[in-house]
């Protein structure tokens, strides 16, 4: 594995996160050369790929380009994949997984495409080394990604291995947790700067609060993980990796983090959130409370209050949720004047029950569910008017 060969790197992400991912990539000093629905391209070396794996908050996988070729049949696929010098990439005693995205009349089955790529790789290594690597679905070691669109294929070495959304801190999931990379994107979309107070009632397993704490301290989220795909490539340079990690450990935000308050009505959720925050090393930065969302303590200094209520797809009954959403509107009006309110939901009918006009509706996807981050400007005058009206 040569760390210094510059090539195309495709950083993949969930739909609707590419805008935030591109900003992150630029902020790290790279130039995005392309932006797509679910990814951003740049030029970089494998050393850069290691760095990107450590620092990016909204990325799913960091893919290092290997080869592009015309391909109309599975025979073409097998032959073309076999042209790559896999014996220089993968140990014959290693373990290989293949992940495919296929949109071609030539095959209707990603599993079949995976198998053909896997056969081509292990057959070539068998020819050259006399032994063949094991293979299977576990994406925790050497991973190859295939994109097959119409009559063209692209092959990438997946330097992340397991998805980067799997940061490693969520040991206790609780119910309907938000994906870590989505939570980071939601905070970026809201303009969270790490200095303003952030209040997160209905925190569940704590993903939003933990991602906020990681952002507020400037800590690269990848430091929490000890296993990456690039570690399983032949010639992996552990010394170079340790240098990149040491640099990342020194990164600190320029100013101290603002207050982060997280609450949930369910004591088990708060316990899970607290333990997950401890695993992420940010528990001392988050103030936890067990209470109804409307009783969450708010600091004097205003900031953002962000809720991710259930929205009926996976949890909760509609009529109960209607009451909850209406109560969120009351909470915003009565307790949060001067704050900026956010509701992340996948159900726009329920969102209407908040009863306030959203100033922005930012689209996201939670798995395949289309969601919105709704922004509410809660002007300071609102409460005063409500309180003063009876005396006139």
Ligand X SMILES: C[S@@+](CC[C@H](N)C(=O)[O-])C[C@H]1O[C@@H](n2cnc3c(N)ncnc32)[C@H](O)[C@@H]1O
In the complex, the residues that contact ligand X under the rule CB under 6 A are 174-178, 201-202, 204-205, 207-208, 264-266, 269, 292-293, 308-310, 324
Sheet hosting strand 32-36, strand order edge to edge: 32-36, 39-44, 7-12, 61-70, 152-158, 142-149, 95-103, 134-135
State the nearest-atom distance from the C-beta of 177 to ligand X, in Å: 4
State the nearest-atom distance from the C-beta of 182 to ligand X, in Å: 9
Gap between the Cα atoms of 57 and 105, Å rounded: 35
State the nearest-atom distance from the C-beta of 11 to ligand X, in Å: 23
Q: Which residue is nearest to ligand X (CB)?
A: 204
**Of the two residues 117 and 209, which places its CB atom closer to ligand X in the complex?**
209
State the nearest-atom distance from the C-beta of 210 to ligand X, in Å: 9
Q: Where are the alpha helices (DSSP H) in the chain?
A: 18-27, 46-55, 74-81, 110-129, 180-189, 207-217, 238-250, 267-280, 318-335, 348-352, 381-388
Residue 28 near residue 51, CB atoms below 8 Å: yes
**Of the two residues 52 and 179, which places its CB atom closer to ligand X in the complex?**
179
State the nearest-atom distance from the C-beta of 302 to ligand X, in Å: 21
Dihedral sign computed on CA atoms, order 82, 87, 89, 92: positive
73: left (phi over 0), alpha (psi -120 to 50) or beta: beta
**Of the two residues 247 and 292, which places its CB atom closer to ligand X in the complex?**
292
**Of the two residues 144 and 305, which places its CB atom closer to ligand X in the complex?**
305
**Of the two residues 117 and 273, which places its CB atom closer to ligand X in the complex?**
273
**Of the two residues 204 and 221, which places its CB atom closer to ligand X in the complex?**
204
Gap between the Cα atoms of 345 and 226, Å rounded: 33
State the nearest-atom distance from the C-beta of 325 to ligand X, in Å: 11
Gap between the Cα atoms of 296 and 291, Å rounded: 7
């Amino acid at each position: 594995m040569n760390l210094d060969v510059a090539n195309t790197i495709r950083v993949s992400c969930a739909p609707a996160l590419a805008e935030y991912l591109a900003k992150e990539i630029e902020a790290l000093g790279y130039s995005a050369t392309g932006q797509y629905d679910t990814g951003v391209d740049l030029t970089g070396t494998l050393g850069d790929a290691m760095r990107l794996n450590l620092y990016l908050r909204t990325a799913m996988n960091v893919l290092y380009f290997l080869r592009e070729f015309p391909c109309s049949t599975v025979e073409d696929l097998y032959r073309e994949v076999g042209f790559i010098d896999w014996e220089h990439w993968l140990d014959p005693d290693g373990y290989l997984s293949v992940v495919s995205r296929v949109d071609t009349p030539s095959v209707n089955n990603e599993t079949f495409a995976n198998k053909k790529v896997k056969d081509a790789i292990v057959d070539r290594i068998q020819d050259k080394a006399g032994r063949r690597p094991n293979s299977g679905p576990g994406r925790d070691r050497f991973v190859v990604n295939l994109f097959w669109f119409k009559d063209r294929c692209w092959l990438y070495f997946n330097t992340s291995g397991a998805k980067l959304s799997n940061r490693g801190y969520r040991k206790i999931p609780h119910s309907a947790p938000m994906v870590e990379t989505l939570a980071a994107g939601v905070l970026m979309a809201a303009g969270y700067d790490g200095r303003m107070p952030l209040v997160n009632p209905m925190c569940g397993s704590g993903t939003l609060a933990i991602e906020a704490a990681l952002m507020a301290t400037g800590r690269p989220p990848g430091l929490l993980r000890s296993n990456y795909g690039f570690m399983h490539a032949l010639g992996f340079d552990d010394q170079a990796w340790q240098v990149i990690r040491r640099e990342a450990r020194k990164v600190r935000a320029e100013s101290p983090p603002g207050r982060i308050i997280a609450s949930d009505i369910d004591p088990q959720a708060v316990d899970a959130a607290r333990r997950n925050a401890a695993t992420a090393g940010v528990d001392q930065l988050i103030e936890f409370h067990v209470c109804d969302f409307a009783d969450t303590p708010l600091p004097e200094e205003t900031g953002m209050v962000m809720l991710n209520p259930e929205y009926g797809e996976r949890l909760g009954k509609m009529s109960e949720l209607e009451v909850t959403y209406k109560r969120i509107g009351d909470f915003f009006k009565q307790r949060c004047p001067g704050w900026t309110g956010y509701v992340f939901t996948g159900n726009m009918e329920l969102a209407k029950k908040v009863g306030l006009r959203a100033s922005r509706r930012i689209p996201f996807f939670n798995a395949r569910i289309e969601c919105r981050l709704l922004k509410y400007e809660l002007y300071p005058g609102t409460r005063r008017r409500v309180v003063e009206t009876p005396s006139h």
